[in-house]
Amino acid sequence: MPLSKENIFDLLSGIPDPEIPVITIQELGVLRKVELTSDGCEVTITPTYTGCPAMQMIEDQIREILRDNGILNVSVKMTYSPAWTTDWLSAEAKDKLRKYGIAPPLSSMDTVAFIQCPHCSSFNTEIISDFGSTSCKGLYRCNDCKEAFDYFKTH
Ligand SMILES: [Zn+2]
């Protein structure tokens, strides 16, 4: 039986983000849409931070999973409109980030920008560098537990 676009969306929903493997591209809001074409399918994704090298890895994984499921003719379309924002992260995804040791992005609606330590929940934190392990993250240190941690920047 051929796969429906819902089946395909479900298959692709499980792809982990290459940089943060605890959350999926669906939870991140990168996976937008699947459409069937006459002999394959078209997958629409929205890049997170412009130039994030992870996007090529995500595209490769999409093609690989679909090939394993017998769909060879795949086009992966990037859409920049509406632009991706960290507000698309679900509450669950933010919770997973925190457990993974990354401070989740603040909502763009937040006017007070206190970054909470993912280890001890202290707000007594300071920025060390605006660029952490990747350009998507900033590096912070907690003044209470003295741990350094990444902050997933609001975008
Ligand atoms: Zn702490």
What is the domain-level CATH number for residue 19? 3.30.300.130
User: So what's the pLDDT on residue 109?
Assistant: 74
Q: Which residue has the tokens 């997170």?
A: 48
Q: Sign of the C-alpha dihedral, residues 85, 91, 96, 102?
A: positive
Confidence of residue 124 (pLDDT cuts 50, 70, 90): very high
Query: What backbone torsions phi and psi does residue 59 show, to the nearest 5 degrees?
Result: -60, -40
Q: What is the mean pLDDT of residues 118-140?
A: 88
Tokens of 112: 């007070």
CB 5 within 8 A of CB 44: no
Please check whether residues 15 and 68 belong to one and the same domain. yes
CA 139 to ligand 1 centroid distance, Å:
13
**Does the pLDDT value for residue 49 go beyond 80?**
no
CA 66 to ligand 1 centroid distance, Å:
42
**Does the pLDDT value for residue 136 go beyond 90?**
no
Tokens of 1: 């039986």
CA 123 to ligand 1 centroid distance, Å:
8
Please check whether residues 73 and 91 belong to one and the same domain. no
CA 44 to ligand 1 centroid distance, Å:
38
Q: What is the mean pLDDT of residues 126-144?
A: 87
Please check whether residues 70 and 116 belong to one and the same domain. no
Which of 20, 9, 6 lies closest to 48, judged by CA? 20
The neighbouring-strand residues paired with 149 are 140
Mean of per-residue pLDDT scores for the chain: 90
CB 103 within 8 A of CB 123: no
Domain boundary among 45, 78, 111: 78
- Separation CA 34–CA 40 (nearest Å): 11
Structural domain count of the chain: 2
Please check whether residues 106 and 54 belong to one and the same domain. no
The number of helix segments (H) and strand segments (E) in the chain equals: 4, 7
Please check whether residues 90 and 132 belong to one and the same domain. yes
Structural domain of residue 60, as residue ranges?
5-78
**Does the pLDDT value for residue 52 go beyond 80?**
no
Q: What is the mean pLDDT of residues 130-152?
A: 88
Confidence of residue 108 (pLDDT cuts 50, 70, 90): confident
CB 24 within 8 A of CB 97: no
pLDDT in tens, 73-85: 999 999 988 989 9
CA 121 to ligand 1 centroid distance, Å:
6
Which residues fall inside 5 Å of ion ligand 1, going by CB? 117, 119-120, 122, 142, 144-145
pLDDT in tens, 21-41: 899 999 999 999 999 999 999
User: So what's the pLDDT on residue 61?
Assistant: 96
31-37 and 40-45 strand pairing? antiparallel
User: So what's the pLDDT on residue 111?
Assistant: 65
